[in-house]
Amino acid sequence: MLSDPLRSARLAVLGGRFLQARDELERATPDTRSSPEWQLLSAMAGWRLGEFALSRTAAIQARDRFRAQGDADGEMRAENVAAAGAFALGDLADAERGFARALALADRLTDDLMAARCANNLGNVSYYLARYVTALSFYRLATATFEKAASWKGLAEGWLNSTIVLRESGDLASAEDAAERAVGAAEQAGEARIMGQALAAQSEATASLGDLDLARAQAERALDLATEHHDPLGEAEALRVLSLISRAAGEFDRALELGQQTLVIAERVRHPWTIGEAQRELGDLFRLVGRDADAQGAFQAAAQAFEKIGAVSRADAMRSR
């Protein structure tokens, strides 16, 4: 029987145990570390741990090696991860190109699961660019294809993203329905990390509908899951929502504290979108408590973060505030 030196690392990545995966990868021999699969697994684990620049570099190296070997499946998977790295770092143009290339490869290989992931990711790019109709179209395609592929995890991600766009579009009833679907799919998948993200989205939808006590419980559970499963972006999102809830409850000092914690995490992982979101919320809070100079600084910082990723309409909105 041929040995499989990457089996433990592969299983750890697939099981969402990303710290364990990184430890397994670091123990690999030099020959194994030079393989494109090692680079791809390293990129996947690194992305989940918030190491976006390293993830993108490793994924590009894996993609180029898979392509040189004529391995279209490996190229497709690496292209998707490289695009995800570009997305996290705020290079939306490169992310959109990468996801589109990965989608074309998925269609050629008739890989429904990867096609659904790419459609979902293209929806995320459109959302960042405030192209809500396009984003929802991609999410509808993604959820339909995830359902065809019998992927509860994918369905959870698709419904989670739909929740965010629907809420921001003002369709609160549909957002609540999508959030419930996301939580249910994450529960079916047994995916605690995605469950945390879905609960954060559900919490914000619940708060928008006025039930602050339930929203707070949902967001606190989301934070616990994100912390437990080493999901820094999930932590930041749960803290941001908790800050919103505290603001709605009139707890302005607590809201500011939570908002500043959100910003610390966002800046630590150098995630421009989350930095922009955190600064926007802080700006709203500062304005509410009469700290106009601080509000102006926060809105300007939000504009710079959004502009960095090419989200021009969002940057302009921050400057208007």
Do the domains 125-229 and 231-321 sit in the same CATH topology, yes or no?
Answer: yes
- pLDDT tens readout for residues 221-261: 999 999 999 899 999 999 999 999 999 999 999 999 999 99
Q: Where are the domains of the chain?
A: 7-110, 125-229, 231-321
pLDDT of 180 reads 93
Q: Within 13 Å and on the Cβ side, how many CA atoms surround 70?
A: 0
- pLDDT tens readout for residues 259-310: 999 999 999 988 999 999 999 999 999 999 999 999 999 999 999 999 988 8
pLDDT of 276 reads 96
In the chain, % of residues over pLDDT 90: 84
In the chain, % of residues over pLDDT 70: 99
The answer to whether 183 and 163 have CB atoms below 8 angstroms apart is no
Mean pLDDT of the chain: 94
pLDDT of 289 reads 94
The owner of tokens 């991860």 is 81
The closest of 114, 104, 186 to 146, measured between CA atoms, is 114
Q: Which CATH class is domain 125-229?
A: mainly alpha
Instruction: State both tokens at 182.
Output: 């996301």
Confidence of residue 191 (pLDDT cuts 50, 70, 90): confident
The answer to whether 200 and 241 have CB atoms below 8 angstroms apart is yes
The answer to whether 49 and 18 have CB atoms below 8 angstroms apart is yes
Q: Which CATH class is domain 231-321?
A: mainly alpha
Q: What is the pTM of this model?
A: 0.82
Q: Could you give the residue ranges of the DSSP H alpha helices within 15-151?
A: 18-26, 30-33, 36-48, 52-68, 72-89, 92-108, 112-128, 132-148
Phi/psi at 170 (nearest 5 deg)?
Answer: 95, 5
Q: Which CATH class is domain 7-110?
A: mainly alpha
- pLDDT tens readout for residues 48-98: 888 989 999 999 999 999 999 999 999 999 999 999 999 988 899 999 999
The answer to whether 83 and 95 have CB atoms below 8 angstroms apart is yes
Q: In Å, how far are 58, 62, 109, 272, 313 from 96, measured between CA atoms?
A: 19, 19, 20, 16, 18
pLDDT of 263 reads 97
pLDDT of 1 reads 42
User: How far is residue 18's CA from residue 10's CA, in Å, rounded to a whole number?
Assistant: 10
pLDDT of 283 reads 97
Instruction: State both tokens at 94.
Output: 């490169």
User: Per-residue pLDDT for 3 more than 80?
Assistant: no
Average pLDDT over residues 128-146: 95
